[in-house]
Structure 1
Amino acid sequence: MSRQTFLQGALVLMMAGIVTRLMGFVYRIVLTRLIGAEAMGLFQIVFPILGLALTFVTMGFPLAIAKLVAEAVAKRDSHRVRRVMRISSACVLASAGLCMGLMYACRHLVAQYWLTDPRAYPTYLAMIPVVGVIAVASLYRGYFQGIQDMTPTAWASILEQSVRIISIWGLAAYFVRFSLAYAAMAAMIGMVLGELSGLLFLIWQQRRRARMNQVVPEPAYARTSEPLRATLRAITQLSLPVTASRLIWSLLSAAEPILVLRALGLAGVPLKEATALYGAYSGMAIPLLVFPTVVTSSLATNLVPAVAEAQASGNVERIRHRLSQSITVTAMVAFPASVVFTFFAAPLTRAIYGDAHVGPMLAIMAPFVFMLCLQSPLTGILQGLNRAGTAMVNSIVGGVARLAVILVLATRPSLGILGVSIATAFSFALTALLHLVAVVREIGFQMRTSSVVRIGVASAAMLAYMLLITFRSGSSLSGSRLVLALVGGMILYFALLCSFRVLTSYAVGRVPKVGPWLAAIVRHLPFAV
């Protein structure tokens, strides 16, 4: 088995993330058109509970597995790899069984005191099996990350989305005829089937290409004699801070729909309309807004071991270089996304969801996409620097601030759901700034601002082109003209990045599959190298 480099692993996850996000949009579009915004609201009311349950079940073990397995593989210690996997599997499986049992036993209490809309109860019941499936899959994902083979994880994600989309075409279209509650339940069943298909694929891949004798060929160079308690302590030292962070964040996320619906109620919005508005915000505007984070999230996944390795060798300059790269990549993705989401929010949401009313929610948050995207790589750097607790505190501060601002703004009849969008944008900015301050305190700050300036100029040129194409269309911008503006704008943006030498033929050539073809194009652009 060949190991992937840092850049190869990041690019594999990035390409797979882009594909799965695009497929996720197809899933959202099909689901929204089949069951409507109100049923989407029922689905989203239940979804934060899943995040909370998974926090208790996985307990940060995937990250601990990835780090400890990587260390053991580097030392060719197959016995420690097995010991880490056995302990992690026992803990995760036990917690998954306990959690699913409690979720079912307490189903009536959840329906009475947690679910703000009783129609979400069938969706909650359908959600329970997915906890166990995702828990087992997380063990395999951590293992593959530890042996630095991201390809199975990438293909598993694509398979999950494919099965999910196919499932909702059949299930949601059938159950929507009975009630919106059962339509939302069908969407959750589709998620269960998708996650199960991904798990089975990971199991097959592990048996085919990642057995222990393939990962650590015998004879092994070393064999640790550490006791079981020492291995467990090493796992918990990594997993507990991550668990605490995710737990508190999941609690905040689970409290959000309750707070939003009650705040909208205080603003005079009826429950059904409030549910539909929250469904449009969380199920339509937010997925579109976070699409660019697929790039920075993939980057963050590979930043943790890279930064940890640089810190262990005392190479602070390399960490600063990683920070500079992260900011540049984030700007390359976030700046054009902000342009499109800010100035073309209404026609974009009308073309995608068939609902232009989502546009104002998106447009309010769009200028802060850069801050949103920057959170992931900064978190990865902090975790690699053993400052996971700092990242946790910063995220909690941002989450609490968001809920507080929601309570202040969403209760105003003049703002309503737009107050939620303002609160979310404020949270993005606050969290990213806190992360950046923490990173700078640890390693200092050194980067070439000229690259960010050039990216800004290219984004402005892209905006000018798109406005020129759509100038006479106004609010009645057709889908074909919007596509023409988007495609032409992105081609212009890419060409300018290459001409400004922000992107080089060498960098583009390392993109999997299409890299050499793109590099040949870049070399023929004016001023490009």
Structure 2
Amino acid sequence: MSRQTFLQGALILMIAGIVTRIMGFIYRIVLTRLIGAEAMGLFQIVFPILGLALTLVTMGFPLAIAKLVAEAVAKRDADRVRRVLRISSACVLTSAALCMSLMYAFRHVVARYWLTDPRAYPTYLAMIPVVGVIAVASLYRGYFQGIQDMTPTAWASILEQSVRIVSIWALAAYFVRFSLAYAAMAAMVGMVLGELSGLLFLIWQQRRRARMDQIVPEPAYARTAEPMRATLRAITQLSLPVTASRLIWSLLSAAEPILVLRALGMAGVPLKQATALYGAYSGMAIPLLVFPTVVTSSLATNLVPAVAEAQASGNLDRIRHRLSQSITVTAMVSFPASVVFTFFAAPLTRAIYGDAQVGPMLAIMAPFVFMLCLQSPLTGILQGLNRAGTAMINSIVGGVVRLAVILVLATRPSLGILGVSMATAFSFTLTAALHLIAVVREIGFQMRTASVVRIGLASAAMLAYMLLVTYRAGSALTGSALLLALLGGLMIYFALLCSLRVLTSRAVERVPKVGPWLAAVVRHLPFAI
């Protein structure tokens, strides 16, 4: 099996992430139109239970598999790869079986005390198999991540979404004739079928292209006599902090809406209006803000095994190089996003949501998009360095500080919901700064500012063009005019990145499928190489 480079793996996951996110929008549009908002609400009621169950079942094992398999492959230690997979599989499968059994055994208790609408009960029952399917699939995803082959994971994600959409058309459209409860249940069955198709694809890919004799050819140069207890300890050192972080973060996320509504009430905002404002913030402004993170999340996924492999080989220079690459890629994605979200927030949200009041919420957070996007790759580096506990503490500090700042700012009548946006921006900036300090302490780092400065210049030129094009329209700027200005600005931005040699034809050529064509375009740009 030919291994992918760090950037190739990141690009594959990035493209798959964008495709699946767009398909996710289509999925929700189709689902809402087929079963209606009320049945959609029944479908959503069970999701917090699913998230909690998956956190408890997987327990961070996929991440531990990725890191430890990458280290073992670097040392050509096939025995340790097998031990890691055996122990992780036994733990995850046991916890999945126990969790599903408890979910079924206490189904009536859950229906009575947890589900706010009893009509969600059939959806809850249909959800139980998803826990086992996703748990098993997570083992394969962690394995492919560890051997740095991201293609099967990317295609599996696309296949899952495709099967899910088709299943909705086939099932939900039929069962909606009987009742909303069964329509929501049918949508969950579609999710089960989608996840199952992805799992079967991963199993097939593992047997076809990632068998152990293909990953670590026998005889291996190095073997460890590490006991099972030591392997289990190595797994839990990474998995337990990740699990604890997710559980605590879930609690903090659950506390946020309660705190925000109370803070807005103290600021004199009526409850109905406060609920609408929080819905605009969390359901409209935040999804736009975090859209660029699809790229840096792909980087983070690929960084864990890449950093773990480099650390196992004692190559700190390679880790520093990965950090430098991550910062450059983060700047390339976040700088233009920050420009658009800051200066065109109102017309953008008006064009997308038909609601310009979301604009100020987005504009306050937009200047700090770089720090938001930088969180994921820095977390991946810390986890690859076996510092998952540090990443956990930093994230918890950021989350607690966010709640505290919300209580201070959102209670002011002059700020209200804008105080929540300020608190969020301060929180992810603080978390990213703490991550960066921790990484620099571990590996040392000298910032290469040339590329970042050039990206900043290209972003400034993009902004100047968009302001010039939209100047005459003023407040009457239409969605089509904004789209044309945005497309033109992005073309100028891309051309300048190439002319300033931030992007080279060699780098662009690595993009799957369209890379050679893009590289030919880049070579014809002035000063590009």
Q: TM-score with structure 2 length normalisation?
A: 0.87
Evaluate the alpha carbon distance shift between residue 268 and residue 496 of structure 1 in structure 2; reply closer, same or farther with a 3 A threshold: same
Give 1:139 deviation, angstroms: 0.5
Is 329-338 or 340-349 further displaced after alignment?
340-349
- Provide the C-alpha distance between the structure 2 equivalents of 1:75 and 1:8, rounded to a whole number of angstroms: 22
Give 1:481 deviation, angstroms: 1.8
Give 1:370 deviation, angstroms: 0.7
Evaluate the alpha carbon distance shift between residue 136 and residue 485 of structure 1 in structure 2; reply closer, same or farther with a 3 A threshold: same
Evaluate the alpha carbon distance shift between residue 333 and residue 172 of structure 1 in structure 2; reply closer, same or farther with a 3 A threshold: farther
Map Cα deviations across residues 468-493 of structure 1 (whole Å, 9 max, x no partner): 22233344433322221121111010
Give 1:459 deviation, angstroms: 1.1
Q: 2:90 — aligned with what? A: 90
Q: 1:227 — aligned with what? A: 227
> Per the alignment, in what secondary structure is the counterpart of residue 357 of structure 2?
helix
> Per the alignment, in what secondary structure is the counterpart of residue 85 of structure 1?
helix
Is 47-56 or 404-413 further displaced after alignment?
404-413
Evaluate the alpha carbon distance shift between residue 79 and residue 237 of structure 1 in structure 2; reply closer, same or farther with a 3 A threshold: same
Evaluate the alpha carbon distance shift between residue 394 and residue 108 of structure 1 in structure 2; reply closer, same or farther with a 3 A threshold: farther
Q: Is the 8 A contact 1:264 1:417 kept in 2?
A: yes
Evaluate the alpha carbon distance shift between residue 164 and residue 14 of structure 1 in structure 2; reply closer, same or farther with a 3 A threshold: same
Q: Is the 8 A contact 2:74 2:313 kept in 1?
A: no
Evaluate the alpha carbon distance shift between residue 448 and residue 95 of structure 1 in structure 2; reply closer, same or farther with a 3 A threshold: same
Evaluate the alpha carbon distance shift between residue 38 and residue 365 of structure 1 in structure 2; reply closer, same or farther with a 3 A threshold: farther
Evaluate the alpha carbon distance shift between residue 435 and residue 76 of structure 1 in structure 2; reply closer, same or farther with a 3 A threshold: closer
Give 1:388 deviation, angstroms: 1.7
Map Cα deviations across residues 32-74 of structure 1 (whole Å, 9 max, x no partner): 6777888877766654443332221111111221233234444
Q: TM-score with structure 1 length normalisation?
A: 0.87
- Provide the C-alpha distance between the structure 1 equivalents of 2:34 and 2:343, rounded to a whole number of angstroms: 28
Q: Is the 8 A contact 2:74 2:312 kept in 1?
A: no
Q: Is the 8 A contact 2:67 2:308 kept in 1?
A: no
Q: Is the 8 A contact 1:29 1:352 kept in 2?
A: no
- Provide the C-alpha distance between the structure 1 equivalents of 2:349 and 2:30, rounded to a whole number of angstroms: 14
Give 1:290 deviation, angstroms: 1.4
Q: How does 1:8-407 map to 2 (within 5 A)?
A: 8-28=8-28, 47-106=47-106, 127-168=127-168, 188-220=188-220, 224-261=224-261, 263=263, 277-407=277-407
Evaluate the alpha carbon distance shift between residue 526 and residue 221 of structure 1 in structure 2; reply closer, same or farther with a 3 A threshold: closer
Is 465-474 or 288-297 further displaced after alignment?
465-474
Is 409-418 or 251-260 further displaced after alignment?
409-418
> Per the alignment, in what secondary structure is the counterpart of residue 512 of structure 1?
coil
Give 1:446 deviation, angstroms: 0.9
Q: Is the 8 A contact 1:409 1:419 kept in 2?
A: yes
Give 1:253 deviation, angstroms: 2.4
Identity %, equivalent residues: 90
- Provide the C-alpha distance between the structure 2 equivalents of 1:255 and 1:343, rounded to a whole number of angstroms: 31
Evaluate the alpha carbon distance shift between residue 321 and residue 85 of structure 1 in structure 2; reply closer, same or farther with a 3 A threshold: closer
CA RMSD of aligned residues (A): 3.4
Give 1:397 deviation, angstroms: 0.4
Evaluate the alpha carbon distance shift between residue 69 and residue 272 of structure 1 in structure 2; reply closer, same or farther with a 3 A threshold: same
Q: Is the 8 A contact 1:45 1:257 kept in 2?
A: no
Evaluate the alpha carbon distance shift between residue 429 and residue 176 of structure 1 in structure 2; reply closer, same or farther with a 3 A threshold: farther
- Provide the C-alpha distance between the structure 2 equivalents of 1:373 and 1:17, rounded to a whole number of angstroms: 15
Evaluate the alpha carbon distance shift between residue 184 and residue 268 of structure 1 in structure 2; reply closer, same or farther with a 3 A threshold: farther
Q: Is the 8 A contact 2:66 2:304 kept in 1?
A: no
Q: Is the 8 A contact 1:505 1:523 kept in 2?
A: yes
Map Cα deviations across residues 448-484 of structure 1 (whole Å, 9 max, x no partner): 2222122112112112222222233344433322221
- Provide the C-alpha distance between the structure 2 equivalents of 1:426 and 1:118, rounded to a whole number of angstroms: 40
Give 1:137 deviation, angstroms: 0.9
Q: Is the 8 A contact 1:20 1:158 kept in 2?
A: yes
Map Cα deviations across residues 294-341 of structure 1 (whole Å, 9 max, x no partner): 221121222223333444454444333322222121111001111122
Q: Is the 8 A contact 2:103 2:128 kept in 1?
A: yes
Give 1:395 deviation, angstroms: 0.3
Is 229-238 or 22-31 further displaced after alignment?
22-31
